Amino acid sequence: MSETISIYMEQDHDLIDGIAERAVAAAAAGDWATLEREGSEFLRRLRRHIEMEEDLLFPAFEQRTGMAAGGPSVQMREEHVQMQPILAQLQSAVSGQDGPGYERATQALLEILVPHNQKEEQMMYPMLDEAMGADRQALLADVKQMAL
């Protein structure tokens, strides 16, 4: 069976979650070199993931399902917007070597990100896989192109 958008994007969620765990552990331990590395990688990966969704997956979802205004992609975009100030806080906590600030911002982010990812995984990605049909692989190839 060919790879699905659900599987690929869920793996990306898991990978990003893993980086977040390493970053917050480094923040708690005051290990600034690791926080710098993992914290930067976390922001880069999460921002790229959001771009994959907003530039490719959500437009395809809206086009194929006809669910645009009032549909789930609208709420997902709003949640991405809500994440932005928290991502900025994470970034300044990294540059300021502020471990407690990094931990607080991570907690605030996870309150949005965990249910957000669940909604994408349980509803949006499967609906998108279904709606794309034979064009799914081409869309997935475009998404993977952004990961290079």
Phi, psi dihedrals of residue 18, rounded to the nearest 5°? -65, -40
Distances (CA, A) of 16 to 70, 110, 120, 138: 28, 12, 15, 24
Residue 104 DSSP label: H
Restricting to residues 71-100, which ones interact with Fe ion according to CB under 5 A?
A: none
d(CA 104, CA 65): 38
Strands (E), 45-115: none
Binding string, residues 36-55; x marks residues near Fe ion by CB under 5 A: -----------------x--
Would you state the structure tokens that stand for residue 24, as one six-digit string?
Answer: 């917050």
Task: Candidates 73, 120, 136, 140: give the one binding Fe ion (CB under 5 A).
Answer: 120
Please report how close the Cβ of residue 86 comes to Fe ion at its closest, in angstroms: 14
Please report how close the Cβ of residue 98 comes to Fe ion at its closest, in angstroms: 26
How many residues touch Fe ion under the rule CB under 5 A: the total is 2
Please report how close the Cβ of residue 9 comes to Fe ion at its closest, in angstroms: 6
Please report how close the Cβ of residue 111 comes to Fe ion at its closest, in angstroms: 15
Choose between 28 and 139: whose C-beta lies nearer to Fe ion: 139
Rule CB under 5 A: is residue 129 a binding residue for Fe ion? no
Would you state the structure tokens that stand for residue 59, as one six-digit string?
Answer: 């437009």
Closest CA to 40 of 96, 100, 90, 2: 90
Question: Closest-CB residue for Fe ion?
Answer: 120
Decide: 97 and 32 in contact? Cβ < 8 Å: yes
Choose between 100 and 144: whose C-beta lies nearer to Fe ion: 144
Chain positions contacting Fe ion, by CB under 5 A: 53, 120
